Chains A and B, each alone.
Chain A
Amino acid sequence: MTPEWIFGLAGVLAAAAPLLIAVVGETFSERAGVVNLSVNGAMLLAAMAGFAVAVRTGSLELGFLTGAIIGALMALVVAFASLTLRQSQVAVGLVLALLGRDLAYFLGNPFMGMPGPRVGALPIPVLKDLPVLGPLVFQQSPVVYISLLTVALAWVWIFRTHPGLVLRCVGERPPAAFVRGVPVTRIRYTYAVLGGALVGFAGAAYTLDLKGGWQGPISGIDGIGWIVLAITIFGGWHPVRGAFGALLFALLQWLSLVLQPSLPGIPSQVLNVAPFPLMIFALLLTNLGNTEWVQTALSRLPESSRRFALRILRSLQVSPPAALGTVFEEE
């Protein structure tokens, strides 16, 4: 029989799936230089609206599509404000984040607690019978498969294709990309909107798959958007590292639930919030190599061990797209 911990880990994978998709979406947007801070509001609004459409039409596909469109529209507002009107991305994104949340709770009232369609598990023939891997990965809902595919495709796109190279350059130094003939603004729009669509899709996945239904403020979706932004940074704007970040977060949350009965001495609140400081700690680790005192300390080590330590730190080290959040005017 399959041991219980495998089901637990399969649950972690399922819980991380929407996070993966949203992180990839935000990664695309930020790689192009647009910080979309509206993620939290976009996900809530997409979750509510996706569910509402699915309930009314009975179509899950239309529900997901609605979510994606809402995410794309929110991103379009941020992009338009910053790229065309040259306003602050941070200010517009923050306001949209608040607006999206309140709008979701207000408009979602009639749908609270309503029964609706839900994506079921879709075991994949043959693969589902593999030991360990089968129950862990191949007896999941389609959203999990989509999330894993999204991460893989994003990696291939960013690091193995020419459009991906152009994307990285646009986020790095727009004037230099422009000099090389790249239509910078158009590319920034494209990826911001694409990223927003992925974020919206991920939002809809909560009500149509993971949680099953809209519960208003107790849906447990509020706050996830902010975690998505943190994981994007933690992942160093790299889809695969971002995926690890999302999985780590989901794992920590699961552990805090599992450990509660066996650690009665620790208040449950402590365990509930533990994943958050742990994430900050992980973030610190990745950027340790950047600090001057570490570099100075290392430079006194003997040559061989210094090389080794430097290589490890450098592989962890990430640097943001240099033009993140900046305004660029052609000519």
Chain B
Amino acid sequence: MKVEMRHIYKSFGPVRALQDVSLTVEAGTIHGLLGENGAGKTTLMKILSGYLRPDRGDIFLDGKPIRFASPAEGLRHGIGMLHQDPMDFPAMSVLDNFMMSHEGEFWLDRRRARRALQELAGQFGFDLDPDARVDRLTVGERQQLELLRLLWRGVQVLILDEPTTGISAPQKVRLFETLRRLAEEGKTIIFVTHKLEEVEELCHRVTVLRQGRLAGEATPPYSPQRLIEMMFGRPIPMPERQPVPPGEPVLEIRDLVVGDHRLRLSRVNLTVRSGEIIGLAGMEGSGQQLFMRACAGLVRPWEGSIRVRGEDLTGKPYHAFLEAGVLFVPANRLEEGLIPGLTLTEHFQLVYPNGRYLIDWEQARAEAQRRIRDFNIRGKPETMVEALSGGNQQRTLLALIRTPAHLLLLEHPTRGLDVESSMWVWRRLKERAQEGTALMVISSDLQELLQYCDRIIVFFSGRISEPMATEELTLDRLGHMIAGRGW
């Protein structure tokens, strides 16, 4: 089905999200939609799927004008969207999720749905247990489930919003294969991303958005430099590696055994020195989160010891770790890191109180203003954190990290951020390392780990590799190791 969007405008209050954006996608192609965070990609796609209504502009399917009042109508016209955060029902079974739609026969035919699910999953080589609860699946599996569901519904136009965020490398390979096959079958695929290499690898054509406006279009062979210029309006220089000489040991882990109800890590030994950046690589749920939470004092180890700058902290409560200068920045910004409903000023005030009992709000506001400027946050002191974009929430989290810190533990610090924001984050982290802080970083972006870390540890279903110097590693080797090969 050919999709055309012409002269679309959309505002949220005073914010102009889209201005005069047009997009044409031919049937049977994979069309990239590229842009940095907040460029309006998601808004445009929500309009196409019927989730949002445009202020102005027209949409044509196969040349016929259409107007959607709700996602139900979008689905009826064969348009399905995979949202960045999977829009499923975590507490329910895979099968129930698969069957759930706005219309259906009165009696649930679980047997038929189960057969259809298994058949479709088989076709694409996905391995999904129909009776598992969705919250036990990885993000990648949840995405596969959503994809199969939309195909079962018979969608002709498939929109994928940042589908590679949070999925493993093998899952990504499988996803790309699937998309190519669907395009060959004549489906129209719109692939929303902020990653250049994905566009180069997958897309037949790409449209670039910048700050809610159309920045240009391109076809292969792509020039990365040209695409970056379209995205940001100017070229961005890549940073150079400059190793920091490691100093005193900051974190010493001896014979650590820790586990939860799914995994068990045994006999881990590790020494991290000041100024060092250690990368933790591995598929989601391979044990790296558990390990980091143990180092942060959030999970109590079963055996072994954790020392920070010589002080034995084994089994001590979280605040003892905090006092020893261990700081943890979780991946779920709004769930664990920030407090929705509080303003930026209030957040800064919580971490850096300016009085013992009474708060000097005048001064707090000025202080917040200063940090907002320092950390390049797009927001005002009285902005609620949940109103910030992902990149700005991440900057806020970094601004909230207390100084001085001896050990910084970061989970996915650049997840969902565009190239420019990621580079900004890493620049800040490097500065910290140069000041003598030791860092441990979890990331699913292997390229990024290779670029910035001094040593990398690989996790595979509870197994842990020795720390490896980054110079001796290649992307290929790392990719094999996180999939459990070549140990």
Contacts of A166 in B (CB 8 A): 100, 102
A182:B89 contact, CB within 8 angstroms:
no
Which stretch of B80-88, B232-240, B444-452 is in the interface?
A: B80-88
Bound-complex Cα distance A296 to B294 (A): 14
Residue A172 is within 8 A (CB to CB) of chain B in the complex:
yes
Provide the A261-281 mask, 1 if CB < 8 A to any CB of B, else 0: 000000000000000000000
Q: Is the interface of B mostly helix, strand, loop or mixed?
A: loop
B106:A310 contact, CB within 8 angstroms:
no
Residue B356 is within 8 A (CB to CB) of chain A in the complex:
no
Contacts of A181 in B (CB 8 A): 70-76, 101-103
Q: In the complex, how many angstroms separate the beta carbon of A329 from the nearest chain B beta carbon? A: 12
- Interface size, chain B (Cβ < 8 Å): 36
Residue A331 is within 8 A (CB to CB) of chain B in the complex:
yes
- Selected from B105, B108, B260, the residue in CB contact (under 8 A) with A299 is B260
Residue B51 is within 8 A (CB to CB) of chain A in the complex:
yes
Provide the A180-194 mask, 1 if CB < 8 A to any CB of B, else 0: 111100000000000
Provide the A158-175 mask, 1 if CB < 8 A to any CB of B, else 0: 001111111011001101
Given A172-B92, A299-B260 in contact, is the A331-B106 Cβ separation under 8 Å?
Answer: no
Bound-complex Cα distance A237 to B131 (A): 20
Bound-complex Cα distance A160 to B87 (A): 23
Interface residues of B in 89-104 (CB under 8 A from A): 89-92, 96, 99-104
A322:B91 contact, CB within 8 angstroms:
yes
B89:A172 contact, CB within 8 angstroms:
yes
Q: In the complex, how many angstroms separate the beta carbon of A243 from the nearest chain B beta carbon? A: 22
Bound-complex Cα distance A138 to B96 (A): 37
Residue B462 is within 8 A (CB to CB) of chain A in the complex:
no
Residue A298 is within 8 A (CB to CB) of chain B in the complex:
yes
Bound-complex Cα distance A173 to B134 (A): 13
B107:A160 contact, CB within 8 angstroms:
yes
Provide the B15-50 mask, 1 if CB < 8 A to any CB of A, else 0: 000000000000000000000000000000000010
Interface residues of A in 97-142 (CB under 8 A from B): none
Contacts of B101 in A (CB 8 A): 180-181
Instruction: Identify 20 residue pairs between A and B in the complex whose beta-carbon atoms are under 8 Å apart, listed by A's number.
Output: A160-B107, A162-B99, A162-B106, A162-B107, A162-B108, A163-B106, A168-B89, A168-B96, A169-B100, A173-B87, A176-B87, A176-B89, A181-B74, A181-B102, A183-B70, A183-B102, A295-B261, A296-B260, A298-B261, A331-B51
Chain B interface residues toward A at CB < 8 A: 49, 51-53, 70-76, 81, 83, 87-92, 96, 99-108, 259-261, 264, 300, 302
Chain A interface residues toward B at CB < 8 A: 160-166, 168-169, 172-173, 175-183, 295-296, 298-300, 310, 319, 322, 330-331
Q: List the 8 closest A-B pairs by CB distance, nearest first.
A: A181-B72, A181-B102, A176-B87, A162-B104, A172-B89, A179-B87, A182-B102, A299-B261
